[in-house]
C-alpha cells in the first residue's frame, strides 16, 4: 500500500439563502428545537449542501438509480451545531477494494473542518484482488475523485486505464458513518448493471453510499445492514 498526500484544492462555496433546513440521516425532519447552524457548523453545512445537490439525477452521483434524490438536495446533511462536526481526535476507516487483476490507485477526497474547508486529496495504491483499510482523520464528508465533480477520475489501473466517480456517492458524517466507523469504495465488475448499458463485465467504481441509499429506497433515513461499512441513522446531538 502506498499513500501520497496531495495538496488541498479549493472547493467553490455555494450559498443557498433563505432556507431553514433540518435533517436526520438522509431523511428530512422539521424541528422547532433545532435552529440553523452558526459559525463553523454553518460553513460545513453549506459545503454539505453543495455536495448533496449533485447526488442523483441524470448527471449526478448515482445517476438515475438515485432519482429519488434529484430535486431534494438543497437540504444540508445534519450539521446543526458544533456537536455535529468531526471529532478532532477521531479517525475514520476507508476500506478500498480492488477486484481486478492489476494494481490500482484510488484518489480519495474528503473534507475535514479541523484542517480547513477545502477538499483534501490522498492517493492509495491497492494490489489486485485485495482490500486495504486506510485510517484517515474523521471527516465530515468523504468521497473519491472529487466531492462535487461528477465524472472526475476516481481510480486508475496500473496500465493507466481511468474509471470515473459517477457511482461514488459521497458519505456524510452522522448519516453514513460516525467517527470511529468506516466507509468503503470498490473497483469491480458492474454485475448489477448500475449504468444500465447491458454490460455486466465492465469495471465500475462505487461506494458504500450508493449501496446504502439504494437499499434504503432513496431519500429516506437509513440504518446499518452491511456491517461496519454500512450506513447509519443520523442522530440529533444539540448545539
The 10s digit of each residue's pLDDT in 157-170 is: 999 999 999 999 99
Unique residue bearing C-alpha cell 468506516: 182
Percent of the chain with pLDDT over 90: 54
CB 54 within 8 A of CB 61: yes
Q: Rounded to whole angstroms, how far apart are CA atoms 159 and 122?
A: 20
What residues have CB less than 8 Å from 142, skipping those under 6 apart? 92, 94, 108, 109, 110, 111, 136, 170, 171, 177, 183
Range of the domain at 174: 3-229
Residue 48 lies in a domain: yes
Rounded CA-CA distance 231/34 in Å is 23
What confidence tier does 72 reach under pLDDT thresholds 50, 70, 90?
low
- Tell me if the pTM is above 0.85: no
Residue 175 covered by a domain: yes
Q: What is the C-alpha separation between 42 and 152, in angstroms, rounded?
A: 27
- The verdict on residue 236 lying in a domain is no
CA 197 from centre of chain? 24
Read off the CATH number of the domain in which 22 is found. 2.60.40.2890
Q: Which residues contact 53 (CB under 8 A, 6 or more apart)?
A: 14, 73, 74
In a domain, 118, yes or no: yes
Q: How far apart are the C-alpha atoms of 144 and 100, rounded to whole Å?
A: 18
- Please give the Cα distance from 32 to 234 (Å, whole number): 17
pLDDT at 3 over 70: no
Q: Is 20 part of a structural domain of the chain? A: yes
In total, how many domains does the chain have?
A: 1
Question: Average pLDDT of 19-31?
Answer: 35
Do 108 and 67 touch, CB atoms closer than 8 A? no
Amino acid at each position: 500500500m502506498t499513500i501520497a498526500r496531495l495538496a488541498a484544492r479549493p472547493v467553490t462555496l455555494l450559498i443557498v439563502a433563505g432556507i431553514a433546513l433540518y435533517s436526520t440521516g438522509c431523511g428530512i425532519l422539521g424541528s422547532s428545537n433545532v435552529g440553523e447552524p452558526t459559525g463553523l457548523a454553518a460553513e460545513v453545512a453549506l459545503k454539505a449542501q453543495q455536495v448533496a445537490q449533485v447526488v442523483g439525477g441524470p448527471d449526478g452521483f448515482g445517476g438515475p438509480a438515485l432519482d429519488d434524490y434529484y430535486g431534494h438536495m438543497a437540504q444540508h446533511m445534519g450539521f446543526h451545531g458544533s456537536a455535529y462536526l468531526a471529532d478532532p481526535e477521531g479517525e475514520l476507516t476507508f476500506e478500498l477494494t480492488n477486484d481486478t487483476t492489476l494494481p490500482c490507485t484510488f484518489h480519495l477526497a474528503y473534507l475535514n473542518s479541523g484542517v480547513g474547508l477545502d477538499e483534501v486529496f490522498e492517493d492509495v495504491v491497492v494490489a489486485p484482488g485485495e482490500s486495504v483499510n486506510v485510517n484517515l482523520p474523521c471527516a465530515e464528508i468523504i468521497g473519491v475523485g472529487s466531492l462535487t465533480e461528477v465524472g472526475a477520475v476516481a481510480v486508475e489501473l496500473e496500465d493507466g486505464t481511468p474509471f470515473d466517480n459517477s457511482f461514488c456517492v459521497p458519505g456524510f458524517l452522522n448519516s453514513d458513518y460516525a467517527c470511529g466507523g468506516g466507509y468503503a469504495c470498490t473497483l469491480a465488475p458492474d454485475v448489477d448493471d448500475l449504468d444500465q448499458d447491458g454490460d455486466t463485465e465492465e469495471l465500475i467504481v462505487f461506494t458504500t453510499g450508493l449501496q446504502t441509499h439504494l437499499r434504503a429506497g432513496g431519500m429516506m433515513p437509513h440504518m446499518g445492514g452491511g456491517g461496519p461499512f454500512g450506513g447509519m441513522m443520523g442522530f440529533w446531538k444539540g448545539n
